[in-house]
Amino acid sequence: MLTTINRLIGFSLASFGEEFGKIKEFYFDDRYWSIRYAVVDTGNWLIGHKVLISPYSMIEVNHSARHLVLSLSKKDVQDGPNLEAHVPISRQFEETYYDYYGWPVYWNGPYAWGGYPMIIRDSAARMVVELPAETWDPDLRSSAEVTGYHVSASDGDIGHVNDFVLDEETWAVRYLVVDTGAILPGKQVLVSPHWISHISFGTKIVKLNLTQAQIHAAPEYTAETLLSRDYETLLHKYYGKKEYWLDTIEPIVVGTVSRL
């Protein structure tokens, strides 16, 4: 099922009958565009700390109750590694975090989830797969920070990033929601990270390998749009792009990345 980050902001964490914290934003990596953490606003609970929740512990998104249901208890989260507020996420912290919960690290291996193309939550299943030696250094990006980035087509300006569409099963960022105010005020469209030719996190610019005319005539996206497989198929056929669900292994999605 697909949903958007804006819809999930403000959802409470729920586990074993307890409700605690509210989702503030998400961090994703700039290689696979997969969600690595939900950042939780703890209110008066764990004041001065930044609580991070990995998709490994996310077992259900309950939209009617506005809950993100976890396999961890409130005490698990409270006793686990938590960052001091405003401190950046380091590799050392992530290693401590994943070791504490007994989860495989996502940067060890060729897939979006390290040695696995999907999230493997069963510890017994993880043990039968030998992790590849290939590693990479993830750069984590805040959904709140990337929202508002300028977007341009191959032949001119389009608008800005307004939201992100997530896959609740794999926690991949499937689409950017782009407000096309530069060419057609009031219209929003979806574009896949696979269609980005370049992104600069220093200058906050996303460049697409699509034309203004393609974007102008693209299927419109609204808050009422049903994010079904039929809609996705229509979108990919319009742009002449291969459907991501036909790929067994997801490649690096961005053409080039500037981090300065």
Task: Express each pLDDT in 215-242 by its tens digit.
Answer: 999 999 998 999 999 999 999 999 999 9
Determine, yes or no, domain membership for 138.
no
Determine, yes or no, domain membership for 142.
no
Say if residue 105 is in the same domain as residue 210. no
Task: Express each pLDDT in 28-73 by its tens digit.
Answer: 999 899 999 999 988 888 887 889 999 999 999 999 999 999 999 9
Domain boundary among 127, 155, 181: 127
Q: Are 140 and 165 in contact (CB under 8 A)?
A: no
Candidate from 59-68, 118-127, 139-148, 251-260 with smallest mean pLDDT: 251-260
Say if residue 112 is in the same domain as residue 183. no
Whole-number Å distance between alpha carbons of 105 and 108? 6
Q: Which residues contact 64 (CB under 8 A, 6 or more apart)?
A: none
Say if residue 34 is in the same domain as residue 99. yes
Count of domains for the chain:
2
- 130 has a pLDDT exceeding 60: no
Q: What integer pLDDT is reported at residue 135 of this predicted model?
A: 72
Determine, yes or no, domain membership for 110.
yes
Say if residue 169 is in the same domain as residue 212. yes
Q: What residues make up the domain containing 226?
A: 147-258
Domain boundary among 127, 162, 180: 127
Determine, yes or no, domain membership for 133.
no
- 212 has a pLDDT exceeding 60: yes
Q: What integer pLDDT is reported at residue 109 of this predicted model?
A: 83
Say if residue 161 is in the same domain as residue 242. yes
Q: Are 13 and 70 in contact (CB under 8 A)?
A: yes
- CATH code for the domain of 36: 2.30.30.240
Say if residue 100 is in the same domain as residue 201. no
188 - beta bridge partners?
Answer: 179, 221
- 120 has a pLDDT exceeding 90: no
Q: Are 201 and 32 in contact (CB under 8 A)?
A: no
Task: Express each pLDDT in 156-210 by its tens digit.
Answer: 999 999 999 999 999 999 999 999 999 989 899 999 999 999 999 999 999 999 9
Determine, yes or no, domain membership for 168.
yes
Say if residue 164 is in the same domain as residue 116. no
Q: Which of 39, 75, 76 is nearest to 54 (CA)?
A: 39
Say if residue 17 is in the same domain as residue 49. yes
Determine, yes or no, domain membership for 137.
no
Name the average pLDDT for the chain: 89
Say if residue 103 is in the same domain as residue 152. no
Pairing mode, strands 18-29 and 83-84: unpaired
Determine, yes or no, domain membership for 222.
yes
Task: Express each pLDDT in 71-115 by its tens digit.
Answer: 999 999 999 998 887 788 999 999 999 999 999 999 988 888 988
DSSP-derived secondary structure for 187-245: -EEEE-GGGEEEEETTTTEEEESS-HHHHHTSPPB-TT----HHHHHHHHHHHT---GG
Q: Are 107 and 135 in contact (CB under 8 A)?
A: yes
